[in-house]
Amino acid sequence: MNDAPAHTYSRRFIVAMSAAVLLAAAIRAPFLTDSLWYDEIAAFLGYSINGPWGAVSTYYTQANHVLHSLLAWGSGAALGVDEVTVRLPSFLAGLGTVLAVAWLAMTALGRDAKGVRLAVVAAFITALLPIAVLPATEARGYSLMTLFSALMTAAFLRALRRPTRTEWLIYAAACALGIWAHLVTVCVPAFHAAWCVAVLVRGAPSTASGTSPTTARAGLIAIGVAALLTLLVYAPILPAMFAIRSEFRALDGNEPTLLGPEGWMMLLSIGGSWKVWASLAALPLAVAGLAAATRDASLRTALILSLGGTVLALAFPLFLGSWLYARFLAFTVPGIALLLAAGFLEINDRKPGTARAIALVVGSAWIASLATLGPRQQIREAVMYVASHRAPTEGAFAVGLPDDVHQWYAVPLHLDMPGSGPYGATIQQHLNDPTAAWAVLLYPRTLTAAADQLREAGFVEEARFPGWIDTGGGEIIVLRRR
């Protein structure tokens, strides 16, 4: 396999990569000014706001995606704190993912014409892919998860072919940083470890990857180093994680299940979108990509190493009593981009006109799905509605989950809007206050008892703010006492 870049492609390749990154930025930028949603605010106020040591040494809920919390602190400290700056690390990671996926493609197929074609198409697909766009516009660790998943799989493939100490150390560092961004990223190196074990069990080089037992042993050692590095970066919070270990189990009964909407979204991800129609539009590319992988061992190996961690992730809800959101599988984005890119090239080699028509339909469907999505959760708009409609003598309060995230927007507006305790535990004291005329109800689908209490106390709906996060659970209702 030729790893030397072809000179005739160098300038065109740089132009293509620049165009893909600019396209990715243009697609993602409009989402950056949306209202922050519950998890984004809870993570920043719970961890990032306490400085770099607070971000890496505090852990009382799983909301702390530690590496992102650290980077969000840095962004806020340098540029001020608002929606854009707390999302900036994810945004930049999303742009980096475009290049990382291209590197993964060329590492898989080489830097000759075949590899460059796959890299360019995969980069543009990553730029448009809704399941890549959304993590890059959210102040959480999912975009970093995607970036480091691409980097670690590319580094793993590279080290398998050139097993030097430096290559394996790069791989180990990428693994540790990815897991530091989100714990579920551990599924990627864990599957790589299983790959190495399979090679050792065979006792001979794999016909698909050409991996020798000696290289497989080196891979396992590198994964061991990655585990040690991961323990090192997590060391400050390991006691806290152990203390809340029960929180990692599905004990409340309201966690997502594989047979529910989140499981359906995981399945739709293979088409690059959580919208049924947008995902189905990409189905021909996915099928063609699978066909291409059956004939190309290098592509097949890259896809298996990129997507195989999904099997381990599904073990969490199936066998370990835990739970998964579709967004937790952000580590599959690089593999999905490769699969769809390979599918496009497979069709293009046979029927270029058909390939271009499919690309136009798929790209339009993805863009339309993003354009019609709306905000995740309109906390800002709900609070501003109350601030602009209430009389000076009218009080207001909020009802939501344990964190009073509405204060992020209420305090700058000088709006006194106390919370009601976790899940509305202290709502009655507000209902007994005759001046409390306005209520902001977050997660009405979950807090049905609180909603009933409000209505029984004479509160009626004034405004409703849809939110698509958690399959529509991000909706907010503003109520006023009559």
State the Cα–Cα distance between residues 447 and 299, nearest whole angstrom.
48
Q: Which amino acid is at 129?
A: L
pLDDT tens digits along 154-185: 999 999 999 899 999 999 999 999 999 999 99
Looking at residue 207, its pLDDT comes to: 46
- Coil, helix or strand for 462? strand
> pTM for the complete prediction?
0.93
State the Cα–Cα distance between residues 148 and 101, nearest whole angstrom.
10
Q: Which helix H or strand E contains 464, and what residues bound it? A: strand 459-465
pLDDT tens digits along 382-409: 999 999 999 999 999 999 999 999 999 9
pLDDT tens digits along 349-363: 999 999 999 999 999
459 forms bridges with which residues in the sheet?
A: 481
Asked whether the beta carbons of 63 and 43 are under 8 A apart, the reply is yes
State the Cα–Cα distance between residues 294 and 413, nearest whole angstrom.
59
210-235: buried (b, 16+ CB within 10 Å) or exposed (e) per residue? Answer: ebbbebbebbbebbebbbebbeebbe
Work out whether the CA dihedral 157, 163, 164, 168 comes out positive or negative: positive
461 forms bridges with which residues in the sheet?
A: 479
Helices (H), 269-320: 276-281, 283-295, 297-307, 309-319
State the Cα–Cα distance between residues 160 and 172, nearest whole angstrom.
13
Q: Which of 93, 69, 79 is nearest to 21 (CA)?
A: 93
State the Cα–Cα distance between residues 343 and 281, nearest whole angstrom.
13
To the nearest whole percent, how much of the chain has pLDDT over 90? 87
247-271: buried (b, 16+ CB within 10 Å) or exposed (e) per residue? Answer: eeebeeeeebeeeebbbebbebbbb
Asked whether the beta carbons of 272 and 125 are under 8 A apart, the reply is yes
3-state helix, strand, coil split of the chain in percent (to 5) is: 70, 5, 25
Give the domain 379-481 fold: D-Maltodextrin-Binding Protein; domain 2 (3.40.190)
Largest CA distance in the chain: 80
Taking the CB of residue 113, how many other CB atoms lie within 10 A of it? 13
Asked whether the beta carbons of 456 and 19 are under 8 A apart, the reply is no
Q: Where are the domains of the chain?
A: 7-371, 379-481
pLDDT tens digits along 449-463: 999 999 999 999 999
pLDDT in tens, the chain (482 residues): 444 444 445 889 999 999 999 999 999 999 999 999 999 999 999 999 999 999 999 999 889 999 999 999 999 999 999 999 999 999 999 999 999 999 999 999 998 889 999 999 999 999 999 999 999 999 999 999 999 999 999 999 999 999 899 999 999 999 999 999 999 999 999 999 999 999 999 876 544 557 889 999 999 999 999 999 999 999 999 999 999 988 888 666 667 788 889 999 999 999 999 999 999 999 999 999 999 999 999 999 999 999 999 999 999 888 888 889 999 999 999 999 999 999 999 999 999 999 999 999 999 999 999 999 999 999 999 999 999 999 999 999 999 999 999 999 999 999 999 999 999 999 999 999 999 999 999 999 999 999 999 999 999 999 999 999 988 899 999 999 99
Q: Tell the residue number behind the tokens 């719970």, with chain if given.
A: 46
Work out whether the CA dihedral 279, 280, 283, 285 comes out positive or negative: negative
Work out whether the CA dihedral 239, 242, 247, 248 comes out positive or negative: positive
Looking at residue 458, its pLDDT comes to: 96
438 forms bridges with which residues in the sheet?
A: 396, 480
State the Cα–Cα distance between residues 12 and 303, nearest whole angstrom.
26
Question: Token pair for residue 405?
Answer: 């995230």
Q: Which of 318, 331, 308, 295 is nearest to 135 (CA)?
A: 331
46 forms bridges with which residues in the sheet?
A: none
DSSP 440: E
Looking at residue 1, its pLDDT comes to: 46
Q: Which helix H or strand E contains 465, and what residues bound it? A: strand 459-465
- Coil, helix or strand for 394? coil
Asked whether the beta carbons of 318 and 94 are under 8 A apart, the reply is no
- 385 contacts: CB under 8 Å, gap ≥ 6: 462, 463, 465, 478
Angle of the 352-371 helix axis to the 333-350 helix axis, nearest 10: 150
DSSP 35: P
State the Cα–Cα distance between residues 168 and 118, nearest whole angstrom.
25
Question: Token pair for residue 162?
Answer: 């050139």
DSSP 401: S
